[in-house]
Structure 1
């Protein structure tokens, strides 16, 4: 009997030592951590009038209680869909943003350019310069909605050159980020037009475009210019920030440093 009791005690002791820990508490803790760190985000699609009353379609990616301070403008043949993932990354960095459809564009990332569709229906011009009024209207809209806070204007390809042109003398714009700017407009010398800049400017491009970008901004005082040149091939426009682009993390690092410098001002 004593032998039986001893064996039973050993078995019970072994069972207690090797009893698996229930995952219930671990799952609960992880869930709480995820809920606490998940940004309080809102996304909506809106329309507002351009300078000529054409409806502009835009996506707002907003952190609650944080005003929109970044305006995102797409490249040729694209739509607001160019920033579908980039906008979310900017949310993670603490920025509420708005991405617009300009009338000069088409489709990207399965998102059609509704502003371009509306302009075609009305028989309006679809050139790069025709799109300038859309960006100007978007600047005014964001500035009005955010209570008069200056914004960062972000452009890609042709819209980056428009952003540089508009940013210099518009008091609603705090700084400009231009992805692959260039001399895209007949009769307009961008290099000369932006020579008196006194605002922060971030420029970047593919590696092969970097010499041209250097020339484009060479009249601006170096104190105002941040020019990131990738060591890898890179890519044209704000696609440099896409996860599918080789070296995107280096573009992001430089861009984030620029964004951080604006906060300090």
Structure 2
């Protein structure tokens, strides 16, 4: 057996071993959280290559699960963000997969009842020492992340709110929370729903707000997914990536996957 063959075999084996953790990272790992009221919350944590202390907390829309964000995870991790996507207790099987939290609970709860699930995710993130934590909400959770930031102003670095509205019984709750948010805030929605955002931001002021008005969009974070928003996804994702680079101090050389 030649030295050349052995050398080639060793190089190939070394490369394969290096790729193992990357493959595992891309697949994500299961996480189980416990909300303050004792409800079990299931999620998936995915690490970026070369962990840089940045995290996106990904919260899904009504009738859905953590799988709403499956098409975007590779983009976010390539940009240098770890992700934690959870199944809130208000959700279902929209976008595929199943909502394990709802299955375990035995029913889908109300929107506002899901707030402790978001808080459990934030507690998980803080316990791991992330220096940048961005809370991302879609539809009803785009309103809940505003409540989360208002209640925990020192714990969150930035907020991204995709299609917020006064979705709860108290029709002033969300706009009052938005007015208290002092961290960088990214807000966008389908152009047809812009009046809802106007209402939510009615009392919000300051240079911390990035109001992105897309030429084409759909409801919630689906506006970033080309299979759901073929006309607007590229421009919308580029806008959101620019925000994430800024709040996460991401080097210009880092680029999201397309």
Per the shorter chain, which TM-score range?
0.7 to 0.9
The structure 1 residue matched to 2:193, chosen from 209, 214, 226, is 209
Counterpart CA distance in 2 for 1:249 and 1:64 is: 23
Counterpart CA distance in 1 for 2:176 and 2:73 is: 32
Counterpart CA distance in 2 for 1:255 and 1:46 is: 26
Consecutive unaligned residues in structure 1, runs of 5 or more: 1-31
CA displacement at 1:214 relative to structure 2: 2.4
- Equivalent residue for 2:221? 238
Counterpart CA distance in 2 for 1:55 and 1:192 is: 29
1:186-243 CA-to-partner distances (Å, cap 9, x unmatched) read 02511123213221100111110123212311322241111111112x1000001112
- Equivalent residue for 1:85? 71
Structure-2 change in CA distance of 1:45 and 1:187 (3 Å): same
1:66-105 CA-to-partner distances (Å, cap 9, x unmatched) read 1451100000000000001112210111111010000000
The structure 2 residue matched to 1:120, chosen from 89, 106, 109, is 106
Report whether the alignment pairs 1:219 with 2:203.
yes
CA displacement at 1:182 relative to structure 2: 0.3
1:150-195 CA-to-partner distances (Å, cap 9, x unmatched) read 4100000001101011112411111100000000010251112321
If asked which structure has higher relative contact order (CA below 8 Å, sep 6+), I would say 2
- Equivalent residue for 1:54? 39
1:134-153 CA-to-partner distances (Å, cap 9, x unmatched) read 11111101111x22534100
- Equivalent residue for 2:3? none
CA displacement at 1:110 relative to structure 2: 2.5
Structure-2 change in CA distance of 1:164 and 1:148 (3 Å): same
Counterpart CA distance in 2 for 1:41 and 1:89 is: 16
The normalised TM-score by structure 2 is 0.81
Secondary structure at the aligned position of 1:152 is classed as strand
Matched residues, number: 226
- Equivalent residue for 2:176? 192
Aligned pairs for 1:1-265 within 5 A: 42=25, 43-66=28-51, 67=53, 69-120=55-106, 126-144=109-127, 146-170=128-152, 171-189=154-172, 190-232=174-216, 234-244=217-227, 245-246=229-230, 247-264=232-249
- 8 Å Cα contact 1:180-1:237 kept in structure 2: yes
Counterpart CA distance in 2 for 1:49 and 1:93 is: 29
Consecutive unaligned residues in structure 2, runs of 5 or more: 1-14, 251-258
Counterpart CA distance in 2 for 1:165 and 1:226 is: 18
- 8 Å Cα contact 1:180-1:236 kept in structure 2: yes
RMSD: 2.3
The normalised TM-score by structure 1 is 0.79
